Amino acid sequence: MNRKIITTVGAAAAASLVLAGCGGGDASSGGEGSDGEVTISLAGWDFASTPEFETLATAYEEQNPDVTVELKEYPAGEEYDTALTADLAAGTAPDVFIVKNLKNYVTFQEGGTLLDISDVAAELDPATGGLEPMAVDGATYAVPYRQDSWLLYYNKELFDQAGVEYPDGSWTWDDYADAAAELTEGIGEKDVTGAYLHGWQSTVQGFALAQTEGASLDSGDFSFLAPYYERQLAMQDEGSQPSYATVTTNELAYQSQFGTQKAAMTVMGSWYIGTLVAEQASGDADEFEWGLAPAPQFDESTTGTDNTPVTFGDPTTMGINAGIDEAEADAAKDFLKFAAGPEGAAALAEIGITPALIDDAVADTVFALDGVPQDDLSRFAYTTHETLPENPVGVNTAAIQTILGDLHSAVMSESETVDDAIANAQERVANEVG
């Protein structure tokens, strides 16, 4: 199929969301034709290296030959939201678009740019990951089609070299820290560490928020972060993982650190499964045997394969442009049901993407891919977990996370103590957030 792809660079970041004039018709080649055929447009990014959009569009068209899904390419990264927001304001945005960053979901919803699709949500499997938190005042404006969860990746060969036992699903964070120290000493090679912690605030704060009973962003009390940061600081100070300064100054990447065996383990989202498999196949990563395990836990109450480990991860969701032409709305809703349902999940699993709905068929597909580990614990880690959002839906989430981002860099760079940084963040939230 020669799919039509429109590329956009968007307009200025200052463009505001508006209620009226947000129609997607300008981005589409059609609407409903005289022969009953319908064209809907779908926003995505970086099509060359992000195949999920083409995959879903093609799979849907095969089952719905009267519908054409036209792709509109946006910049990747934070520029996606900027460019999409500008097009929404100008009335040139696509009919269906990805709500890429959950903390901006309420911004899009309150701006009137998302259609109420509660009827779509009601028809989805309740087990769809990330579906329940999308409700805002009883209505749903976007539905998850993929749900990455954070897992522990480990290099079996480096564990063997250091004489350290593999993770068995029973690890707490203290067990993880102890293993990192043992691995670093046992491997005994310069520039090879037991663990790698990427520079993102989510690598610490996401786990702390999800795993600590009673933790809440809206409470304004961030004391739950303290033990997680104290542990990570101890690990970098003892050299069992690179320091935050090294990571940021040298712009280290988790793919290269783990993929070229400079770290024996790392915690990362499930999206890395497909990336690591592809990089080992292409030669961008070393060939070595690796495995998955549940993320380390706050305490033993959620460890072991008889329990459900707690982790975090925001869903990636699709919504419908509130200004969509009426003739295209039904097709757009049907596409969302497909993308977030079992058929869309199966299509995504075939390319190594973790869908929001994980069933036995999805797991079988993922673990049939060449290069994916075959042990029971890896499958358990992929299929069994309670995943809580890094960015709970709320009007203040984006503002609070900006402040907590400052806390993260201050603590990990050791320019402020943990207690001082938490106190400063709490004061800022009280003074700056509505």
H/E stretch holding 6? strand 5-7
Task: Tell me the mean pLDDT per 10 residues along the chain, length 434.
Answer: 57 33 40 73 90 96 97 91 94 95 89 96 94 92 96 98 98 98 96 97 97 95 98 98 96 96 97 92 96 98 97 96 95 98 95 92 93 96 95 92 97 98 98 89
Q: What is the pLDDT of residue 35?
A: 62
Q: What are phi and psi of 308, to 5 degrees?
A: -110, 110
What residues have CB less than 8 Å from 422, skipping those under 6 apart? 222, 223, 225, 226, 407
The verdict on 160 and 141 lying in the same domain is no
User: Distance between CA atoms of 299 and 303, rounded to whole angstroms?
Assistant: 7
Of residues 156, 233, 231, 241, the one with CA closest to residue 191:
241
The verdict on 207 and 188 lying in the same domain is yes
Q: What is the pLDDT of residue 16?
A: 35
Q: Quick one: how far is CA 302 from the chain centroid?
A: 22
Residue 372 forms part of a structural domain: no
Q: What is the pLDDT of residue 352?
A: 86
Residue 366 forms part of a structural domain: no
User: Distance between CA atoms of 21 and 5, rounded to whole angstroms?
Assistant: 23
User: Distance between CA atoms of 241 and 180, rounded to whole angstroms?
Assistant: 8
The verdict on 143 and 177 lying in the same domain is no
The verdict on 166 and 211 lying in the same domain is yes
Structural domain boundaries enclosing 214 = 150-310+384-432
Tally Cβ neighbours within 10 Å of residue 237. Answer: 11
Q: What is the pLDDT of residue 6?
A: 67
CATH of the domain at 38: 3.40.190.10
Residue 187 forms part of a structural domain: yes
Q: What are phi and psi of 234, to 5 degrees?
A: -65, -40
Total count of domains within the chain: 2
Q: What is the pLDDT of residue 19?
A: 29
What residues have CB less than 8 Å from 117, skipping those under 6 apart? 140, 141, 142, 143, 319, 320, 333, 336
The verdict on 302 and 225 lying in the same domain is yes
Q: Rounded to 10 degrees, what is the CA torsion of 292, 298, 299, 301?
A: -80
Residue 368 forms part of a structural domain: no
The verdict on 294 and 195 lying in the same domain is yes
Residue 199 forms part of a structural domain: yes
Q: What is the pLDDT of residue 49?
A: 80
Cβ burial, residue 226 (10 Å; 0-12/13-18/19+): middle
Sign, CA dihedral 308-312-315-316, equals negative
The verdict on 182 and 112 lying in the same domain is no
Distances (CA, A) of 332 to 40, 152, 174, 324, 355: 7, 37, 48, 9, 19
Q: What is the pLDDT of residue 33?
A: 52
Helices (H), 299-396: 326-340, 342-349, 360-367, 376-383
H/E stretch holding 424? helix 418-432
Q: What are phi and psi of 156, to 5 degrees?
A: -65, -35
The verdict on 334 and 226 lying in the same domain is no
Residue 363 forms part of a structural domain: no
Residue 371 forms part of a structural domain: no
User: Distance between CA atoms of 29 and 4, rounded to whole angstroms?
Assistant: 9
Tally Cβ neighbours within 10 Å of residue 156. Answer: 15
> DSSP letter at 256?
H
Of residues 225, 238, 221, the one with CA closest to residue 180:
238
Cβ burial, residue 126 (10 Å; 0-12/13-18/19+): exposed
Of residues 339, 347, 341, 343, the one with CA closest to residue 366:
347
The verdict on 93 and 155 lying in the same domain is no
Q: How far apart are the first and last CA of the chain?
A: 50
The verdict on 217 and 347 lying in the same domain is no
The verdict on 389 and 255 lying in the same domain is yes
The verdict on 239 and 262 lying in the same domain is yes
CB 146 within 8 A of CB 354: yes
